Amino acid sequence: MATVLYPSPVFGPVRSRRLGVSLGINLMPADGKVCTFDCIYCECGFNADRRPRVGRPSRGEVAAGLEAQLRRMAAEGVLPDVLTFAGNGEPTAHPEFAAIVEDVLGLRDRYCPAARVSVLSNGTRAHLPEVHEALLRVDCNILKLDTVDADYVERVCRPAGRYDVERVVDTLCGFGGRVIVQTMFMCGEYGGRSVDNTGAEFVGPWLAALRRIRPQQVMVYTIDRETPAAGLRKASPARLDGIAELVRAEGIPVSVSY
């Protein structure tokens, strides 16, 4: 299947379904993927098929690459709506993540003060004090919580190390509402088993977790690009809308991407 890798350390601008005109910041190597998850729906492919040969960009390379691109965009009169940490894997896994966040905030203030800084993360390192503090500094701290079903996480998100759903929910609670939860809903099957997380048995416990976390927003979305695993299907617009309505009924703002 045709999965994608992004240039590093800066890519775009791209028009994001969820974020507007987004300039991407990819803290992972350009020639491969490095993630603490190995999601079967990952648009970057499976970890084993995408082993990089080059290293991650350094803090200095990220700052220089971003500044050069912001200068180009300013000269063209098109500034980004959002600077988004995303790309070929988990951004918070970069050893200089916290310092890079500070650099990016400084460049944002200088070149495009109206732009938001977003981080798209799977949340596996959000409990680490340095990462936690850095995530509190950005405008949109967008953390993944596809389910609170531990078996589903193991089969679909496939964490590289120990992943304790309860601890992750506690970590999300620890942001005091300064967190956006993103959740992938999908249908189909993988390895002969259903991966449909749109039913009440998944949505109910997930809603209970949201009640505890009280995020500033929930982003509900589904598969948009080719996936490395065959047999996965998009969740229907009607089902996504139904789930979003349940979130809204909890008094939590929600967006849906079909």
Q: What is the dihedral of CA 240, 243, 247, 248, to 10 degrees?
A: 70
CB nearer ligand SF4, residue 42 or residue 168: 42
Q: Binding ligand SF4 by CB under 6 A: which of 5, 19, 27, 35?
A: 35
- Residues in CB range of 92: below 8 A, 6 or more apart: 119, 121, 124, 125, 126, 128, 131, 134, 135
Give the sign of the dihedral formed by CA 193, CA 198, CA 201, CA 206.
positive
Q: Binding ligand SF4 by CB under 6 A: which of 44, 112, 240, 244?
A: 44
Q: How many CB atoms lie within 10 A of CB 161?
A: 6
Of 10-18, 34-42, 159-167, 234-242: span binding ligand SF4 (CB under 6 A): 34-42
- Which 80-139 positions form the footprint of ligand SF4 (CB under 6 A)? 89-90, 122
CA-atom Rg of the chain in angstroms? 18
Residues 67/107, Cβ–Cβ less than 8 Å: yes
The 3-state secondary structure of 11-63 reads EEEEEECCCEEEEEECCCCCCCCECCCCCCCCCCCCHHHCCCCCCCCCHHHHH
CB nearer ligand SF4, residue 115 or residue 153: 153
23 part of the interface to ligand SF4, by CB under 6 A: no
182 part of the interface to ligand SF4, by CB under 6 A: no
CB nearer ligand SF4, residue 111 or residue 171: 171
What is the total residue count of the chain? 258
CB nearer ligand SF4, residue 27 or residue 112: 27
Q: Binding ligand SF4 by CB under 6 A: which of 6, 37, 97, 206?
A: 37
Of 31-39, 77-85, 173-181, 230-238: span binding ligand SF4 (CB under 6 A): 31-39
Q: How far is the CB of 214 from ligand SF4 (least distance, A)?
A: 23
Residues 231/190, Cβ–Cβ less than 8 Å: yes
Of 12-20, 39-47, 67-75, 100-108: span binding ligand SF4 (CB under 6 A): 39-47
CA dist., res. 256 & res. 219, Å (int): 6
Q: How many residues bind ligand SF4 (CB under 6 A)?
A: 9
Residues near ligand SF4, by CB under 6 A? 35, 37-39, 42, 44, 89-90, 122
